[in-house]
Amino acid sequence: MQVTYMNGAGNDFMVLDARGKQLDLSALARTLCEKTGADGFMAVDVSKTADFRLHFYNADGSRGEMCGNGARCICRYAYDHGIAGPEMTVQTDAGPVLGWRLSEDTYRVRLNNPSVLDLHRKGDIAYVELGSPGVPHAVAEYPGDLWRDREKLREQMKALRFDPAFPKGANVNFYQWLGENEVRLLTYERGVEDFTLACGTGTGSVAAVLHAQGRLTAPLKAHNPGGTLTITLTAAPQTLDLEGPTQVVREYDMCI
């Protein structure tokens, strides 16, 4: 079976076509992510309500509701393999996600809207769930140099990931305000249990918080360690569109 190693702004994933196959996807996630150090695993499946279904698993084999950068990568995979056209709908556990091919390498997806948005879940730390059931995120502003202070922040962000204020656990997103509609991000992800180079749903959650605070006046430019993502947000009706790069790193032929 062919397995594709993909990257979306630093988030890397192992991807395969599982249509018509009986596979232990959780076990495959652990095996394949250990092989490459990937952040997650995705499988394409058939859907009665969309162009295809996305099964997403974290590197530890736990199932995730959705993944923003993963959704962008799976849209490229589906287009490249003739599964869908340049505009597509993806069935996810968090709800349907629309996707668009903008160029060979650039894809946009419409993230699930927040089902929970609490600006003060733990003091000044906000809590956001995108979709229903939602992808959980803790969001906080950091006043210093976020990337320089990364290792100093590790234990604090790890503790927040398991904090009882977030009953599902949380992806922890700290942001540094750089100027009008521009931030720097750092994410500690559940299921990976470490920093990752980018988080698409985390970027969307930060944008949702800034919009609710009245601090966002245009699309948000979000600099992640692995690349820059753009969130375009509208208010009536609300939409969260995530745009950024995708990359096919390598194709593997594996016996599964």
The catalytic residue positions are 67, 199
Cβ(200)–Cβ(229) below 8 Å: yes
Residue type, 154: R
Beta-carbon contacts of 133 under 8 Å, excluding residues fewer than 6 positions away, are: 65, 93, 94, 115
Distance CA 69, CA 252 (A): 21
* Count of all residues that appear for the chain in the document: 256
What are the angstrom distances between the C-alpha of 53 and each of 16, 91, 157, 168, 247? Answer: 12, 5, 32, 23, 21
Spatial separation of the C-alpha atoms in residues 23 and 2, rounded to whole Å:
14
- Amino acid code (one letter) for 181: N
Task: List the structure tokens of 172.
Answer: 């922890």
Orientation angle between helical segments 200-212 and 68-80, nearest 10 degrees? 130
Tell me whether strands 125-131 and 114-122 are parallel, antiparallel or unpaired: antiparallel
In this structure, are residues 215 and 141 in contact, taking their beta carbons and an 8 Å threshold?
Answer: no
Identity of the amino acid at 93: D
